[in-house]
Amino acid sequence: MDAHDDIEDTLKLEFYDLMTKHRNYIYNFCCAFADTPDEVDELLYEIVMTIDQRFASCRADNERQRWRWAQRVIRSVAIDYWRRRLRHHTVPLSAAMSEPDDATARENRETFEELMAYLDSEQDREILRLIIQGYKYSEISVKMHLSEATVRQRVNRALKKMKTIKTKIYG
């Protein structure tokens, strides 16, 4: 065995320890973003694979820093998953807004606006609208005069709140 193999084995153990220690957090996070058990499994798989692929590039010196790094990866993968799901599995917001004669589009728009009304601030609603329109976090942070971390935090909080409200209202 050479030094490269030792480093690789150490990384595998650190990855396994991180995933084992935080598996409930990761699973619950996936549940907050996905609607069905199959979607939870799909998102969970995508998150674990992404962390595994990027783990060697993590520059963290200790377990706490590795976990914070992993949380950023988890949020990023979940947001990307959510965006893809909006584009491919539901009526796009732009279609819902531009086709008021279509009953389904009108219903989707009304549901979206109803859920958005539950958000705490107009700024949170605007950030989500920009996300849905395809803006990146960096673009939103410049446009809204906020840090990128604040934008990410507000998106995460808004999505969780909308999912909770959706569940309470629509079952």
Asked whether residue 57 carries a pLDDT value surpassing 60, the answer given is yes
Contact (CB, 8 A) for 42 and 34: yes
- Predicted structure pTM score: 0.48
| Mean pLDDT score of the chain | 77
Contact (CB, 8 A) for 86 and 132: yes
Question: Which helix (H) or strand (E) is 8 found in, with range?
Answer: helix 3-21
Percent of the chain with pLDDT strictly greater than 70: 78
d(CA 88, CA 77): 16
CB atoms within 10 A of CB 159: 18
Q: Confidence band (pLDDT; 50, 70, 90) for 33?
A: confident
First to last CA, the chain: 56
d(CA 144, CA 121): 13
Residue 99 has what pLDDT? 44
d(CA 99, CA 94): 9
Print burial letters for 74-102: b (CB count within 10 Å at least 16), e (below 16).
bbebbbebbeebeeeeebebeebeeeeee
Q: Confidence band (pLDDT; 50, 70, 90) for 94?
A: very low
Percent of the chain with pLDDT strictly greater than 90: 2
SS3 percent helix, strand, coil of the chain, rounded to 5, is 80, 0, 20
pLDDT 10s digits, 96-124: 444 444 566 666 667 777 777 878 788 88
Place of tokens 């992404």: 50
Domains of the chain: 3-89 (1.10.1740), 93-170 (1.10.10.10)
Residue 40 has what pLDDT? 85
**Average pLDDT in the 16-21 region?**
83
Catalogue the E-assigned strands of 78-134. Answer: none
**Average pLDDT in the 123-138 region?**
83
